[in-house]
Structure 1
Amino acid sequence: MKFGKIALPASALWLASCASNDFVIPDTAIATPTDYSADLPPAGLDEFWWRAFSDPVLDDLISRGLAANLDIAAAGDRLRAAEALLRAERADLFPTLDGSANLGVETGGDGARVTGNVGLIGNFDLDFSGRLGAEIRLAAARYGEAGYLQADQRRLVAAAIAAQYVEYRLTGAQLALLEESTELQRQTLRIVTLRFEAGLSANLDVRRAAADLAQTQARLGLIEVSRAEAKHALAVLLGEAPGTFEITASAGEEGSIPDYGAGPPIGAPVNLLRRRGDVLAAEARLAAAAAQVGIEQADLRPSLVVPGSILIGDGSLDGLFSSFLATLGAALDLPLFDGGRRRAEVEAARAELDASLAEYRQAFLLALGEAENALVAIGAYRQRADSLAEAIEQSETALAQSNALYREGLASLFDVLDAQRQLISSRQSLLNTQADLATSFIALHSAAASLDGRNSLELR
């Protein structure tokens, strides 16, 4: 695996971010391999990876989930809140103007009189220290983080729906296989019973065959529990009540596992830095940390505020509009001595920036690890599925031969039951492996997916 970038210390990022108003992570900020360690699967043209299953039921479930999932809705609300806070910070660049009115009663030796005046009070921060600009950059970074987290929630929901749907289909296939297996064992039990009644075998053989049948039937409850859990999980992901949620599967789908075709290309590892919502959110948090450094540094510089006021009235109610007083000034705040507090806060902000850089790198490595794990799993499960298919073929032949020999009295019931168990076990293992393979494809494209499940990203 080759690496195309060399990591720089956080101080280099801090200097780059604080030198200008725009925070930009240098290309050398994080080490990225040029390719994956495992071979990539063939890529298709459809930009939505889940369509490679060619399953309209799954397409419908994901479409409904992306529209109704409550976690996505909550992330959208947080995005709106972050946008409003950004507007609020930008508003501080403009002058403020507030109205005032005073009304009172004065009492004295000559009686009581009503007093009052009205006025306007204004204030304008010239951002001489740069604090307002840094606060705006902080709010903008948090707004960007909220947007990326909402998009990442869509990525996670789509993957979760696909994975639960595969589990639901797996349980359907397991129920179909269970029915086949019990029917096979019932036939064996009938043969053994007839031979016992004819005096050709012992009652022990009947009990062994009946025990194997009961053991297989005992799996029914576990499968039904897993099936219900998968269906209920899908309901929650779609924002619906689990007790009333139903899945309408297409004909012929219940006894099989969805087969994944060719999804969108996942690109090189460096694409994860520009496509994964959680990695982009970590980058936004890094930008926010850099902006916080700017805020703390601004407190070391002088600040200049221009206050002003207009007062109408001489204090008496009768002369409310008899006088007019306007003032305009300038307030300069010079930081002189604070016992080292401001510089300590700058140092703390820089440490937080270093921590944010480490978290950004960690987010990328976790994303890269997910993609690498999925690629290895795809290759391993494909090989395992081929081996299990061969095992099933051999087990079917062995079972047929052992049944024929048993009828002729040339093989024991133990041979028949052993061949039967091997066949049933291989079929179950193949179903589980096919489901694991489908889940690995889901994990791969979830790991490498862009913000909207697409193959490209235009939000940066």
Structure 2
Amino acid sequence: MSGPPSYLSGRSTRLASRLFLLSSAVMALQGCSSVAVSEPDPIVLPDTFTDQQQVLPAVDWWTTFNDSELNEHVNDALQGNYSLQAAEARLRQSLAQLRGSRSDYYPEVNAELGKSREWTSEDSTTDTWSAGLTASYEIDLWGGIRAGAAESRFSADASEAAYRTLANTVAGEVSTYWLGLRVQAGKLRLLEDQKQRLATALKVVEGRKRRGQAALTDVWQQQQLVESLSVDIIEAEAQRDIYLQQLALWLGRGQAPLTADMVSDLTPVPQPDMTLNSVPLEALKARPDIQEAYARLQAASAGVAVAAANRYPRFSLSASYRDSDADFSQLFDNWVANLAASLVLPIIDGAGRRAEVERQKAAEQEALADYSQTVLEAAQEVQQALVEEQRYLKTLQSLTDQLELARKTLELQDYYYARGQIDFLDLLNAQQELLSLESQQLTARWNLTQSRIQLYKAVSHGRFGETDA
């Protein structure tokens, strides 16, 4: 078939041209409108947050621990965690809603084709074909349509930030429980070593008892000290099993990727060399929870604009081409064109639209307060993480120094006791002090590891996999 179809010639092309020019002009007018967003009052932050550039942990901050197995587990969790998959689905919903809201920018065009049959009393029938092309468009005079699309866009931004917040949480929980397993492995090794040392000391006490150089109560006290470690071992094994269960949960699996026996082969937790004394202000602003709160504030402001625009008249254009004929081949010969404009003006609605504006303004104030509170809480979280980092570093150093002295003391007390120069109580106190300091040092190392995880999470923007933080 050569040449354009007959139904695209004449009046149809002229009307289509007018519709295109009209819609183009209106969309250009819409491009000039914008949504006014309420800006929060500036919050004065402490000197902890600086405008100067600082060296921050890697974007994938868990890699700072130099643990290849941890890296693998976190990557698996970012793919397999069901809560994260649900957050991703919510993000896709928001993006689909955004695309749907932007459809109101354009005219709606529909085509119709139908056939009807009529019967008369003379038993005759008449077939009629009908066809039509309709177009309608609402002119966004007051920016309501654009504000609605902006609200959807900001909601999508909030969903994306919420996803990053959850991804950061997932990475943090997997890091905590995996490194916790390594700590528990070290604790169980320490307890077994302590129990063996105390059992060796028990033999010395029993030997002195047989020679009449020690009382029976000395033997019992030493036995009680040995047995007390059995309780600590039971608790450490239970904590190990809980960490295994939690690790499986955050990985999105029914069971952990390793057994309790395999945990015993794990090496001690490596300590990253990086320490932070201050945090760039930009790192605080990039936190996903702050960005989510600000996006929700923007969405609330757009909601006010939508409600306000709904109080004003709506102006719409519509156009149609229609024809009907008994002969399908002549269906496109005699078109009837129609172009109409309509204006809908709200007059009486029981103050419903005004109430909706007030509700949206209150929601905007709520979002504004939530944003300010989120900033304060984020700043406090970062400051607390920095304080705890320094606290546990100093505590660990002090305990390390004390532990060295306690070992020297016990070594000398063993020597004196074997020669009967001190009482058993002096030896027992030295043993208990060493056991306590060894346990405290291990706990301090674990506290430092946890504070590092919290600090790295606190300054992370959650955009994992990028090369530039």
1:253-332, aligned counterparts within 5 Å? 254=267, 256-262=268-274, 267-269=279-281, 271-273=283-285, 275-313=286-324, 324-332=335-343
Aligned position for 2:409: 398
The one of 418, 430, 436 aligned to 1:425 = 436
Aligned position for 1:57: 69
Report which stretch shifted further, 303-312 or 424-433: 303-312
For the Cα contact (< 8 Å) 2:38–2:301, is it kept in 1? no
For the Cα contact (< 8 Å) 1:35–1:269, is it kept in 2? no
- Tell me, what secondary structure is at the counterpart of 2:347? coil
For the Cα contact (< 8 Å) 1:47–1:263, is it kept in 2? no
CA deviation after TM superposition for structure 1 residue 376, in Å: 1.0
CA deviation after TM superposition for structure 1 residue 338, in Å: 2.0
Aligned position for 1:342: 353
For the Cα contact (< 8 Å) 1:308–1:327, is it kept in 2? yes
- Tell me, what secondary structure is at the counterpart of 2:438? helix
CA deviation after TM superposition for structure 1 residue 281, in Å: 0.7
Report which stretch shifted further, 442-451 or 351-360: 442-451
For the Cα contact (< 8 Å) 2:48–2:278, is it kept in 1? no
For the Cα contact (< 8 Å) 2:185–2:265, is it kept in 1? no
Q: Could you tell me which amino acid in structure 2 is paired with residue 241 of structure 1?
A: G
Q: Could you tell me which amino acid in structure 1 is paired with residue 65 of structure 2?
A: F
For the Cα contact (< 8 Å) 2:406–2:430, is it kept in 1? yes
Change in Cα spacing, 1:86 to 1:251, as seen in structure 2 (3 Å) is same
C-alpha distance in 1, partners of 2:260/2:341? 69
- Tell me, what secondary structure is at the counterpart of 2:279? coil
Q: Could you tell me which amino acid in structure 2 is paired with residue 200 of structure 1?
A: Q
Q: Could you tell me which amino acid in structure 2 is paired with residue 391 of structure 1?
A: Q
How many residues are paired up? 434
Aligned position for 2:194: 181
Change in Cα spacing, 1:337 to 1:443, as seen in structure 2 (3 Å) is same
Q: Could you tell me which amino acid in structure 2 is paired with residue 187 of structure 1?
A: T
Change in Cα spacing, 1:30 to 1:270, as seen in structure 2 (3 Å) is farther
Aligned position for 1:130: 143
Aligned position for 1:199: 212
CA deviation after TM superposition for structure 1 residue 261, in Å: 1.3
- Tell me, what secondary structure is at the counterpart of 1:300? coil
C-alpha distance in 1, partners of 2:49/2:323? 77
TM-score by length of 1: 0.85
C-alpha distance in 2, partners of 1:264/1:154? 23
For the Cα contact (< 8 Å) 1:137–1:291, is it kept in 2? yes
Report which stretch shifted further, 158-167 or 275-284: 158-167
C-alpha distance in 2, partners of 1:330/1:315? 31
Report which stretch shifted further, 258-267 or 415-424: 258-267
- Tell me, what secondary structure is at the counterpart of 2:343? strand
- Tell me, what secondary structure is at the counterpart of 2:348? coil
The one of 66, 70, 86 aligned to 2:78 = 66
Are 2:158 and 1:140 aligned?
no
C-alpha distance in 1, partners of 2:421/2:270? 42
Change in Cα spacing, 1:450 to 1:265, as seen in structure 2 (3 Å) is farther
CA deviation after TM superposition for structure 1 residue 383, in Å: 1.6
Change in Cα spacing, 1:265 to 1:430, as seen in structure 2 (3 Å) is closer
Are 2:405 and 1:368 aligned?
no
CA deviation after TM superposition for structure 1 residue 112, in Å: 6.8
CA deviation after TM superposition for structure 1 residue 44, in Å: 6.4
The one of 56, 66, 78 aligned to 2:90 = 78
C-alpha distance in 2, partners of 1:368/1:111? 86
Q: Which has the larger radius of gyration?
A: 2
Q: Could you tell me which amino acid in structure 2 is paired with residue 417 of structure 1?
A: L
List gaps (5 residues or longer) in structure 2: 1-31
Are 2:463 and 1:445 aligned?
no
For the Cα contact (< 8 Å) 1:233–1:242, is it kept in 2? no
Q: Considering only aligned residues, what root-mean-square deviation do their CA atoms show, in Å?
A: 3.1
- Tell me, what secondary structure is at the counterpart of 1:330? strand
- Tell me, what secondary structure is at the counterpart of 1:242? coil
Report which stretch shifted further, 129-138 or 347-356: 129-138
The one of 427, 430, 443 aligned to 1:416 = 427
For the Cα contact (< 8 Å) 1:385–1:433, is it kept in 2? yes
Change in Cα spacing, 1:76 to 1:244, as seen in structure 2 (3 Å) is same
Aligned position for 1:119: 132
C-alpha distance in 1, partners of 2:419/2:123? 130
- Tell me, what secondary structure is at the counterpart of 1:262? coil
Aligned position for 1:94: 106
Aligned position for 1:8: none
Aligned position for 2:222: 209
Change in Cα spacing, 1:98 to 1:29, as seen in structure 2 (3 Å) is same
C-alpha distance in 2, partners of 1:150/1:388? 40
C-alpha distance in 2, partners of 1:43/1:391? 33
C-alpha distance in 2, partners of 1:260/1:80? 37
Q: Could you tell me which amino acid in structure 2 is paired with residue 56 of structure 1?
A: S
CA deviation after TM superposition for structure 1 residue 60, in Å: 2.7
C-alpha distance in 1, partners of 2:193/2:299? 60
Change in Cα spacing, 1:94 to 1:266, as seen in structure 2 (3 Å) is farther
C-alpha distance in 2, partners of 1:205/1:56? 49
- Tell me, what secondary structure is at the counterpart of 1:329? strand
- Tell me, what secondary structure is at the counterpart of 1:326? strand
CA deviation after TM superposition for structure 1 residue 213, in Å: 0.8
C-alpha distance in 2, partners of 1:247/1:151? 32
